[in-house]
A and B are shown apart, each in its own frame.
Chain A
């Protein structure tokens, strides 16, 4: 049985609202849904960022003077949850995945457009629910990990709302994952082989496999946790005969792959951006594909390296240390491939390129501390200190968020048909890069010297370093302003971008900007070499600023 994709009798333009209203509707267009994800995610980023600012203000002085301790716990819980589940995961997967994947496979929409819209519309209500929990008897206080028995003993209302919200977001994530798998494997344009797809498709395929396999386990775990809180069962409550370690195992079975759910799509996006702005083919396509799949397989069997201090037996420590160290191999392959892609290229140092290079630098630093943390003797010392905070933010902010900004600078002309101001973009990059490193590099030192994370008060000897870190956070907060100004200015008065301002070869640039409903006026182009930037080509066309 075949289903016609061509709605010749009822053009979708007639069925859907047009203009800006479409972004507030149950639109089935993958491009509208992608931008819905992006803007919604960015609003949550601003909220999560304000919470991070509150944390840094509190930590300027060693005493808990800016806010009460309970509020500090709520703020750090909300910050972590919002940034992970409402900003990075929806944006690197949902936003760019929905916008780009149908173009890359040569389709007119995602495989299940209605499911796609449902997946997006689960996000705003669950995000709002999470935030309003602060005003109802206080939000959850047990961190984004919600470890029992802490999550069982803190006020129940906030924790239950947190669980419901994360369950809804997990459902949204699973629906999205199923959709991406079906789109990439089943909806490819005839004549297009898997090994001819742009790298972002492979990254999204790997990510979606991780989402489908690991998110349900988190859902099951949180259901059990909610039973513990509401019905007073004892799954994870030691005083009732339960076992907290089981929660940690199940939680990290999702939450370690969640790190790859946050960075694998970022790897894919960088692999799209670097070749275009350095006018060279992506180096090592095949090794890149295999290293993505290697990360997917290994990513599922390293979770217990988060639990080296939870009484894990020695054989388990040994296994998980080795498995974690192995993950550095495919990651390293990808890193060298990016450097080799840049090597000898005609690099245009525009904002997209700068943010991608910033990502490479930050990610290497975060990767090195990651390998260090995988070693049990070291990990036992710095577990739950600011060293872990620094490592994690180097991966998710220095990694994923830098790539999100890079991608916005790269694809904004396609989204809107307008160019962004490159000088303002470069300025944004410089402040973000300095602010980010100023904020998080000193935290390595704090962690090595034993400052615990998630505590509002600290030893006065750490005050100077904390103040330096807070200055970095201020710079990061300020760096949002030139970005927002740039976006606003460009939407209102920006130069016309034309269809293909970067002289790119990937399919999304072979249509108008912004693309029409159903992506192409005529037939979808068959792109067999998405990275075919030859030497002749780079003489002819110089990518870069208009």
Chain B
């Protein structure tokens, strides 16, 4: 019984069975990466929740968070997810001008988030090394802010690359757009979890 089909036998068949072409699985790879990235956040969240459960906050330690600014931040990011989606719809319809407009709005919202976050940092009554919770707060929001910064830069690159006629991202070559969009939604989702855990719990 032959369990293998040697190359000589099957080379005559007209239909090419080997993997000369394959589907685009770059998005699959990105999803695997985002799962890994999400696990980094999961580790941070687990550390924070354990600290909260077992380490009592010191009597003279200052750790107070105001809600209005982070709520505004949440709204900014959620709206930016929506505007990014909107830009994608226009990209599919080959309306690059509209797509670029919505991308610019998305990028602006990302930058607005970062400015607002910086403003919060400067107005908080505690610094990085003041106490355990202060350190964890800055580590978590800082790591997330790093993601937003990278995302904003990538949105600007995509914005530049969707220009007509020289841009390389269009309806035919959509992967860079989709990748950044997925990443941006991921960063938004992480923020929502972070908002709930850090500010609301």
Contact = CB atoms under 8 A, between A and B. Distances in A.
Q: Do A and B bind each other?
A: yes
Interface stretch (B46-54, B79-87, B92-100, B158-166): B46-54
B1 A534 contact: yes
Contact of B7 (A220, A223, A234, A521): A521
Interface string B128-141: 11011001100100
A10 interface: no
Contacts of A245: 54
Interface stretch (B36-44, B68-76, B108-116): B36-44
Interface stretch (B14-22, B117-125, B179-187, B190-198): B14-22
A532 B3 contact: yes
A377 B136 CA distance: 36
A216 B32 CA distance: 12
A522 B129 contact: no
Contacts of A216: 36-40, 43
A527 B24 contact: no
Contact of A214 (B28, B39, B41, B128): B39
- Which of A6, A214, A233 counts the most B-chain CB atoms under 10 A from its CB? A233
Given A107-B19, A220-B43, A520 B7 contact: yes
Contacts of A177: 32, 36
Given A178-B32, A191-B17, A232-B129, A220 B22 contact: no
Contacts, number: 173
Interface string A150-192: 0000000000000000000000001001110110011111110
B175 to A, nearest CB: 8
A495 B5 CA distance: 29
Contacts of B7: 510, 520-525
A505 B4 contact: yes
A4 B19 CA distance: 9
A525 B35 contact: no
A528 B40 contact: no
Contact of A243 (B19, B37, B50): B50
Interface in A1-55: 1-6
B20 A6 contact: yes
Contact of A525 (B4, B29, B40, B47): B4
B24 A1 contact: yes
B200 to A, nearest CB: 22
Given A2-B23, A6-B20, A527-B4, A241 B33 contact: no
A522 B7 CA distance: 6
A233 B43 contact: no
A240 B16 CA distance: 66
B51 to A, nearest CB: 6
A5 B40 CA distance: 34
Nearest to A232: B129
Given A2-B21, A243-B55, A178 B33 contact: yes
Interface string A201-219: 0000000000011111101
Given A216-B43, A246-B51, A534-B1, A182 B6 contact: no
Contacts of A505: 3-4
Contacts of A181: 32
A247 to B, nearest CB: 9
A178 B47 contact: no
B132 A241 contact: yes
A213 B23 contact: no
Contact of B36 (A178, A191, A235, A523): A178
Contact of A112 (B21, B29, B40, B135): B29
B40 A219 contact: yes
Interface residues of B, number: 50
B17 A235 contact: no
A212 B32 contact: yes
B55 A526 contact: no
Contacts of A242: 51, 55, 132
B36 A525 contact: no
Nearest to A250: B43
Contacts of B3: 505, 527-530, 532
A520 B16 CA distance: 14
A130 B23 CA distance: 40
Given A524-B18, A526-B4, A235 B40 contact: no
A253 interface: yes
Given A5-B21, A235-B136, A243-B55, A523 B11 contact: yes
Contacts of A190: 17-19
Contacts of A111: 25, 29
Contact of B43 (A4, A217, A522): A217
Nearest to A4: B21
Nearest to A108: B19
Nearest to A221: B43
A522 B11 contact: yes
Contacts of A524: 7, 18-19
A6 B20 CA distance: 6
Contact of A212 (B23, B24, B35): B35
B187 to A, nearest CB: 15
A106 interface: yes
Interface string B142-183: 010000000000000000000000000000000000000000
A272 B50 CA distance: 44
A249 interface: yes
Contacts of A106: 18-19
A227 interface: yes
Interface string A101-122: 0000011100110010000000
Nearest to A102: B19
B13 to A, nearest CB: 9
Contacts of A528: 3-4
Contacts of A492: none
13 contacts: A186-B28, A189-B17, A189-B18, A216-B37, A220-B41, A231-B128, A233-B135, A249-B46, A510-B6, A522-B11, A523-B18, A526-B4, A526-B10
Closest 8 CB pairs of A and B: A529-B3, A217-B43, A233-B135, A220-B43, A532-B3, A216-B40, A216-B39, A522-B7
Given A2-B22, A243-B55, A530-B3, 7 more contacts: A5-B19, A112-B29, A178-B36, A186-B22, A241-B132, A507-B4, A510-B4
Interface of B: 1, 3-8, 10-11, 16-26, 28-29, 32-33, 35-44, 46-47, 50-51, 54-55, 58, 61, 128-129, 131-132, 135-136, 139, 143
